[in-house]
Structure 1
């Protein structure tokens, strides 16, 4: 079960960047050349200045709005929607979340370059990143292994650098045979799901430098680093921190109890 996002899309960043540049050029052109020329002609003729053509007028009016959205989305906070269940029970289908875009440094709006290093992922962070197999897609998972960490998964229990992550059984998940556990990862307490009908996929892996090992909280229902490998540092987009809206598709109404919930 994949956990990619069907938000407006990675390509939207490129589209927004181009729109910002185009409308910005039109705004500057009109502000410093075309508008003064229109006023000069009108003053000489004793008439009101002519209106700008529709394209210039579009750039002049929408540049501030487009630029503000571009800067906010690129460097501060970005919204995403969760369409699949690989992070259940932490995140559910229909959750709309906010992602801190500067948690791991200011990055170029388009491309993989980093403008300013401000922080690094911590074990247990819930992170949005570009899917290594198809970088046009965005995934969300929990950071399990940092560069250099040795991750061991035996009998559906995680050990990181020799430290076993404690698990407390909470019972069945919403009447299904899937079991719900409370897991403590160095103080990051969160819930996970395990399906006892699914056989364990035991492994031991050392995370390469500059890479991160990701897993979904729905341990037996997640496509993650166990299947497609680690995530390069350059592909990190930000840390998920808030559910600002949630929609219950079955009930066709907002899931009010989830709105405003912090993400751990």
Structure 2
């Protein structure tokens, strides 16, 4: 047994290549399982903030108290067949969200300033048909909308407009593709 250990210890290939690559692979698996993962956006619902085909790094959500309005979140939605969705967090637990016919949003009676929304109307200059009115966000839920309001299937269209804590997956941190747009998202 001592002789076999000595051969292993003296083998430069194992020390220089196998051990470092195995360590890197294990570290990569741990980080992608528990800390972050990449996501590709397949729809224009977040244009102009996120374009079709953009790729981003996200971090898993462990502390829900750190979520704030304006964060871009990845979540599972039971009503959409796409699986994971990427939308902007608009309403926090226990808040009242009011959506006017022109798309203006009020949170607890205060108008929400949304510089990231540029497509409030469709290509014909009309506001899309949607659920408007007042939404009272439940204790353990959140309210999400896409930045491309004229082209986003979001809380305004779902039968249950809320996303619950157990459906939240991760928070978008920065875009890594395309390289021309590399950086933190706003």
* TM-score of the aligned structures, taking structure 1 as reference length: 0.56
**Aligned mates of 1:74, 1:121 — CA distance in 2:** 20
Which residue of structure 1 lines up, in the alignment, with residue 143 of structure 2? 213
Question: C-alpha offsets along residues 201-243 of structure 1, whole Å, 9 cap, x if unaligned?
Answer: 3221100111010000011211111222211111211211211
Which residue of structure 2 lines up, in the alignment, with residue 163 of structure 1? 110
* Conserved? CA contact 1:212–1:232, under 8 Å: yes
Q: How many residues align?
A: 169
Deviation at 1:133, TM superposition (A): 3.0
The correspondence of residues 22-33 of structure 1 with structure 2, limited to 5 A, is: none
Match of 1:92 among 48, 51, 58: 51
**Aligned mates of 1:123, 1:142 — CA distance in 2:** 8
- Name which one, 1 or 2, has greater alpha-carbon Rg: 1
Which residue of structure 2 lines up, in the alignment, with residue 78 of structure 1? 37
Match of 2:99 among 153, 172, 178: 153
The correspondence of residues 174-253 of structure 1 with structure 2, limited to 5 A, is: 183=114, 189-195=115-121, 196-199=125-128, 201=130, 202-228=132-158, 229-246=161-178
* Conserved? CA contact 1:156–1:200, under 8 Å: no
Instruction: Tell me which of the two structures has the higher relative contact order, counting C-alpha pairs closer than 8 angstroms and 6 or more residues apart.
Output: 2
Q: Which moved further from structure 2: 118-127 or 224-233?
A: 118-127
- Where in structure 1 are there 5+ consecutive unaligned residues? 1-35, 41-47, 50-59, 106-116, 167-182, 184-188, 247-255
Match of 2:72 among 126, 140, 159: 126
Tell me, what secondary structure is at the counterpart of 1:143? Answer: strand
Q: Which moved further from structure 2: 142-151 or 64-73?
A: 64-73
Deviation at 1:141, TM superposition (A): 0.2
Tell me, what secondary structure is at the counterpart of 1:194? Answer: coil
Q: CA-atom RMSD, angstroms?
A: 2.8
Tell me, what secondary structure is at the counterpart of 1:226? Answer: coil
